[in-house]
Chain A
Amino acid sequence: MTGGERGPAAVPPIRRAALLSVECLEAHHGLLHAVRGVSLRLAEGEKLALVGANGAGKTTLLRALAGAHPVTAGTVRFDGADVTRLPAHRRVGLGIALVPEGRRLFPDMTVVENLLVAGRHRRPGPWTVDAVLDAFPLLRPLRDRRAAALSGGEQQATAIGRALMTNPRLLLLDEVSLGLAPLAVDAVYDSLTRLIATGTTVILVEQDLGRGMRIADRVACLLEGRIVLEGAAADLTRDEVTEAYFGLGGAGGAKARSTAP
């Protein structure tokens, strides 16, 4: 259970209709069996932090949810509809947006052009170029600069803004702090914390455990493609997560069974 001051989150997640439900998802990365039987349920407005060591399958899982990585078995349901076989560009129209690892901006296009491309197939919603520039004020003077000429933090802000332009109901964030200077990470997270307080459902992949646990309602820890620990962020201690992260001891598995929805 989460703290009482969180309002809607105080209702147990299982009672609410799931926005995203993943069942027994399997995905391969070449010969590597990267995601093994992952099941997840996420209610509207929930924030889930996905943690795990390098190669635990976090990025592959996120890309599979976005439709950018082929699924070998299992189902992904979004808002009640089976989207397992839907290509990435169709899922964007339903409201799933991924901020990919490494940002992946269109390097020879300006900041505004990057945003406009994403805006072409947007769902109706509040996000426009102006709204994004308001949310990330650092981008306003850079609007006509080529994406390749931006600093890492500016690129990350543009990448998040680009995903927001599609007006997502589920925002998937893959390692937004990777390769950024600490100050830039703080700036990006400041904006991000304000944004996701507005009720967007989020799955966040983050190497920095402290940051991930501060933002999220729930934490899931991946180890070798499996969820080995899952629970409310408030209920888990850093040590429990760290143990599961490195696959130490069997306590993690028991905990997962007791708190998973």
Chain B
Amino acid sequence: MIWASVIIQGVLLGAVYALFACGLSLMFGVMRIINLAHGDIAVVGAYLVWIVATRAHVSPFLALVAVLPVMLIAGYVLHVALIGKSLRGGQLVPLLTTFGLAIVIQNSLQQIFSPDVRSLGAAAGWITTSSWRLSEALAISWFGVLVLVVAVVVLGGLDLFLRKTGLGREMRATAQDPDAAELVGVDARAVYARATAIAVATAALAGAFLAMRSTFEPASGPTQLIFAFEAVVIGGFGSLWGTLLGGIVLGVAQTIGGHIDPQYSILAGHLVFLVVLASPRGRTLAARSARR
């Protein structure tokens, strides 16, 4: 029974990672770039939710509803102003640009909010502390289930968007051949900006959930980036359902490792990541084309 509990906790933890990873996966799938500022953008989202929630005295969930459209627009602007321009410089330039952006964000947050550790857990209320107690050793937190449901809805919705809608088809076409997409009337730059906007909004969503689930500070971003990156690699680059699976595998590995000995928690996740990377599938990752 204790192992069932460990695995369930791992799945719930994995949902958070999957939510972090989905924007990273989308940007890589569409533009072939890895956004090194992804984790820090998520932390910006968490701070925005914190500001709205404390200033307006509303629930963080309500604040999140207000913050998401703002982050969508911010993502579009970020692409037009910065990432889109860096894309013209080849593969290395976007990597360096987002690395620089990550440093700028971390230091700005430090300057504005001080390095204090904060949490939205208390503000989110009863949902973060309640759980179903199924037996002595097995309790399922409501908030964990909520995050899992949101992760499935976001990743599934995104997958449906890419497969079934005109905008989504344009995004897939641009991912597969931007030059040919232009020749059938698709504005590739606008498509890229839309992908960045969606990625930034999902990052903010993940950041807010992280803040409600545990704590955050200006330097929280890079750790989340590493977990998100590992989830994407484990699940296979560019595949959204794979990303959900990758997040869950990473989460389960971490809770199993943590159950054996708390100091093995993070290490177990890294080990699974390395095993996948060293496997034949991992070696072909670089050459693989993203399907959607």
The answer to whether A and B come from one shared complex is yes
> Which residues of A are at the interface with B, using a C-beta cutoff of 8 A?
66-68, 87-89, 92-93, 97-98, 100, 104-109, 113-114, 116-118, 120-122, 162-163, 165-166
**Shortest Cβ distance from B213 into chain A, in angstroms?**
36
* A interface footprint on B182-213 (CB within 8 Å = 1, 0 otherwise): 11111110000000000000000000000000
Q: Which of A104, A116, A166 has the most CB of B within 10 A?
A: A104
Q: Which of A88, A93, A116, A122 is in CB contact (< 8 Å) with B183? A: A88
Instruction: Identify the closest chain A residue to B184 (Cβ).
Output: A118
A106's contact among B166, B180, B182, B188, by CB below 8 Å, is which? Answer: B180
Stretch at the interface among B7-15, B72-80, B168-176, B278-286: B168-176
Closest B residue, CB atoms, query A93:
B185
Among residues of B, the one whose C-beta sits closest to the C-beta of A117 is B173
With beta carbons under 8 angstroms apart, the residue of A88, A98, A106 that contacts B173 is A106
Determine how close the nearest CB of chain B comes to the CB of A102; give it in whole angstroms.
10
Cross-chain contact B172 with A68 (CB below 8 angstroms): no
Quick check: is B70 within 8 A (CB to CB) of the other chain? no
Listed residue (B170, B177, B179, B180) with the most chain A CB atoms within 10 angstroms of its CB: B180
A92 to B181 alpha-carbon distance, docked (Å): 11
Could you say which of A67, A107, A117 contacts B184, with CB atoms under 8 Å apart?
A: A117
If the complex has contacts A108-B292, A109-B169, A116-B166, are A121 and B186 also in contact, measured as CB distance less than 8 A? yes
Q: A89-B188, A116-B166, A120-B166 are in contact. Are A106 and B172 (CB under 8 A)?
A: yes
With a 10 A CB-CB cut-off, give which of A68, A89, A104 has the most chain B CB atoms: A89
| Most chain B beta-carbon contacts within 10 A, residue among A67, A107, A118, A165 | A118
Task: Assess the A122–B173 pair: CB atoms within 8 A.
Answer: no
Q: Is B129 an interface residue (CB 8 A)?
A: no
Are the C-beta atoms of B183 and A68 separated by less than 8 Å?
A: yes
Interface size on B, residues (CB 8 A): 20
Complex-state Cα separation, A122 to B179, whole angstroms: 18
Nearest 5 A/B pairs, CB to CB: A121-B185, A92-B185, A118-B184, A104-B180, A88-B182
What is the CA–CA distance of A117 and B177 in the complex, to the nearest angstrom? Answer: 12
- Structural contact, A104 and B186, CB atoms closer than 8 A: no
Q: Are B172 and A109 in contact (CB under 8 A)?
A: yes
The CA-CA distance from A109 to B292 in the complex, in Å, is 9
Least Cβ distance of A172 to chain B in Å? 9
A117–B184 CA distance with the chains assembled, in angstroms = 7
Question: A117 near B289 (CB under 8 angstroms)?
Answer: no
Which residues of B lie under 8 Å from residue A122 when comparing CB positions? 185
**Contacts A68-B183, A89-B186, A166-B184 given; does A116 touch B176 at CB 8 Å:** no
Complex Cα–Cα for A151 and B3 (A): 52
Measured CA separation A89–B185 after assembly (Å): 4
Q: When chains A and B are docked, how far (Å) is the Cα of A121 from the Cα of B166?
A: 10
Decide yes or no: A108 and B172 within 8 Å by CB, A100-B180, A116-B166 being known contacts. yes
Cβ contacts under 8 Å, B85 to chain A: none
Shortest C-beta distance, B50 to chain A (Å), equals 40
- Give A222 Cβ to nearest chain B Cβ, in Å: 21
